Structure 1
């Protein structure tokens, strides 16, 4: 049996990798470099603290993935020889606003209560945080440290997944513009702009924002929308930032990555005021960055569902078709490779993902 995976980003490639590990034949159909690609424009976090504050099932799913990440990274290195620079020694969120710190701490306490104490984090006031991270500035009122968090080089991750899929016998069709998808139970044909037709007995639609173009034909609502995110990158610096945060991290090459902007701007990707605010926040947290040279900025479009949570949906129209989307493809990559294939195969060992179905939007 061949499974067609439409979408060659981190989500689609993670699913393809997991299916191949189970002995399933896979063809990945990837678009062109002109497509909106969240996988090449993300922050690279394996982030848990605060995720799912209003949706504990999402928090639990994210944590299940984070716990698999060390083995996932090691497996990829053994298959491909590529070190994706994964680190999971914990993360720190920095706050320059006391009310924001208090609210985030309350959200985390709510999750800790839900998980009966099994949700590690620590709120640190300024002086204690400065012992942990001496470089913070006086405007930082405090922070939250959690050992659950980590980060990775996302471009190396995508490269490793691509290499692993091909080395394990998967077919990767790049630069492939899909013009038509026809489906029937356990019989799918994808037609490309070149006229080539690819056939499979199962299909996974993981095309990010492009999923909206094909969802209805396969029995999915595919309610995805773009959300703008922008990032600044500094010149390479001596290593000083041990712990990543949701807004600032130092990558393995030495540059400091500043981001986490979220704007509902449709398909527009950049605006100067947002970049100025990112730079201002970074200098408030780490004054040493004030005179550091910025070498580039980039932007991407997140793939967002109406409530911001992942969607995992089996088609009610055709047997064997599945829709997978999320905006946390890095955090969830280990679960998508290690756990989602059982769900796609409808095995008894599959995780219960019913709370992530599209039916939640129809109430």
Structure 2
């Protein structure tokens, strides 16, 4: 059977895969992207849309520095995407809050931010305050809130607009995106790599970039990678559009650019099950009303569940095939936050340039 040929094959058409493809194309490479079926479990279709630094890698310096680089690059990256694709991604970086209704949890998290500040230096700024101080500064915060932390570097985007902008940009830069293309088998075949798709068609490539999210759990071992990703379910709510803007952004409550309020923050180890549940929806609603009681009068329009991509230690993995071939594994949870560094910095590592980022802390063989 004749196989389609590609110089650089990106497996995965979500935010991570398209960001990698974007970078490869800008470096002058020819790129073919395989995007799976619509029914696949896709983190890119259900994430919260944060560009978040606060607490990321607080106790793991490589991740904190990598995230810091990403959030700094977001304004220029959003502008570049808009210029190429014509699609704004609704980036805002007003700073973000973590709200607490338990004072011990607040103090523990504040200690994490102090550790993060030691890693990142004076340019990283954060604040921590008690509930009364918070309510004086933001009237309307609920009485059950015992305190909060604030980081001026946090923000958010519209994740579906980001995904659309990346798709358009990849295509306008000359990349090819093949849809409904689920890879079932992947192996090294001499000097190139061969993939067999669900429809039994084949594709051969000089280099492979495995960015398939949860799909990497089956494909990564076929290339000798050690990382086994697992699904973690998060559930979300979205309200009707509000005429007024919320005076804050938090990691669990954010007002999207269209005006509705998105509420999230749950974590459940339930395997490949992305169904929403009534108990978690109640939990989310109670949490939101505890933070901002005015939301009790707002109608919820929709709820959904989505699966995060989680590595064994929660940090990204950037690995090269252990046999020394040209196959790479790129997987992480924070695909939206890290999109700029995936698009602008990883290609130097793929191409073995002298200015490649130091990714030793994210090696696949650390497991």
TM-score between the two structures when normalised by the length of structure 1: 0.96
1:327 aligns with 2:333: yes
1:147–1:224 Cα change, 3 Å: same
Cross-structure match for 1:313:
319
Deviation at 1:135, TM superposition (A): 2.7
Inter-partner Cα distance in structure 2 for 1:61 and 1:235: 36
| 338-347 or 27-36, larger mean C-alpha shift | 338-347
Q: Match for 1:157 among 162, 182, 202?
A: 162
Matched, 1:277 2:283: yes
* 8 Å contact kept, 2:209–2:328: yes
* 1:109 is aligned to 2:83: no
| SS in structure 2 at match of 1:66 | helix
Counterpart for residue 28 of structure 1: 33
Secondary structure of the residue aligned to 2:358 is coil
Residues 93-134 of structure 1: CA distance to partner in whole angstroms, max 9, x if unpaired? 111221111111111011212334442101122343234432
Deviations 1:139-197 (A, max 9, x none): 12221111110100000000000000001100000111223323246512223233433
Greater CA drift, 95-104 or 146-155: 95-104
CA distance in 2, matches of 1:131, 1:164: 45
Aligned to 1:345: 351
- Compute the displacement of 1:318 (Å): 4.7
Report the CA distance between 1:16 and its aligned residue. 0.4
Structure 1 residue 215 displacement after superposition: 1.2
Give the 3 Å change call, closer, same or farther, for CA 90–218 of structure 1 in structure 2: same
CA distance, structure 2, for counterparts of residue 114 and residue 82 of structure 1: 35
Q: Distance in 2 between matches of 1:329 and 1:115?
A: 21
* Counterpart-to-counterpart distance in 2, 1:320 and 1:129: 52
Answer whether contact 1:313 1:356 (CA < 8 A) is retained.
Answer: yes
How far has the Cα of 1:312 moved from its partner?
0.5
Q: More displaced, 196-205 or 295-304? A: 196-205
Residues 261 and 209 of structure 1, relative CA distance in 2, 3 Å threshold? same
Task: Name the structure 2 match of 1:6.
Answer: 11
Distance (Å, rounded) in 1 between the aligned partners of 2:319 and 2:137: 43
Q: Equivalents in 1 of 2:190, 2:94: separation in Å? A: 46
Is 2:226–2:365's contact at 8 Å kept on the other side of the alignment? no
User: Which segments of 5 or more consecutive residues in structure 2 lack a partner in the other structure?
Assistant: 1-5
CA deviation map 1:36-64 (0-9, x unaligned):
00000000000000111221211111111
For 1:345 and 1:120, how far apart are their aligned partners in 2? Answer: 34
Aligned residue pairs, count: 361
**Which consecutive segments of 4 or more residues in structure 1 shift more than 4 A?**
none
For residues 337 and 185 of structure 1, what CA distance do their matches in structure 2 show?
29
User: Contact 2:184/2:219 (CA < 8 Å) preserved in 1?
Assistant: no
**Counterpart in 1 of 2:3?**
none
Normalization by structure 2: what TM-score? 0.95
* Contact 2:155 2:249 (8 Å CA) reproduced: yes
Give the corresponding residue for 1:97: 102
Deviation at 1:271, TM superposition (A): 2.4
Q: Provide, for residues 313-335 of structure 1, a one-character-per-residue CA deviation record: whole Å limited to 9, x for no partner.
A: 00012511000000000000010
The partner residue of 2:298 within 278, 286, 292 is: 292
Contact 1:184–1:319 at 8 Å: present in 2 too? no
Give the 3-state SS of the residue equivalent to 2:108 in structure 1: helix
Match of 1:79 in 2: 84
SS at match of 2:20: helix
Paired with 2:48 and 2:93, the residues of 1 have a C-alpha distance of 15
The one of 308, 313, 317 aligned to 1:302: 308
Q: Which runs of 5+ in 1 are unaligned?
A: none
Shift of 1:22: 0.7
- Name the SS for the 1:267 alignment partner: coil
Equivalent in the alignment of 2:74: 69
1:219 to 2:224 alignment: yes
Match for residue 194 of structure 1?
A: 199
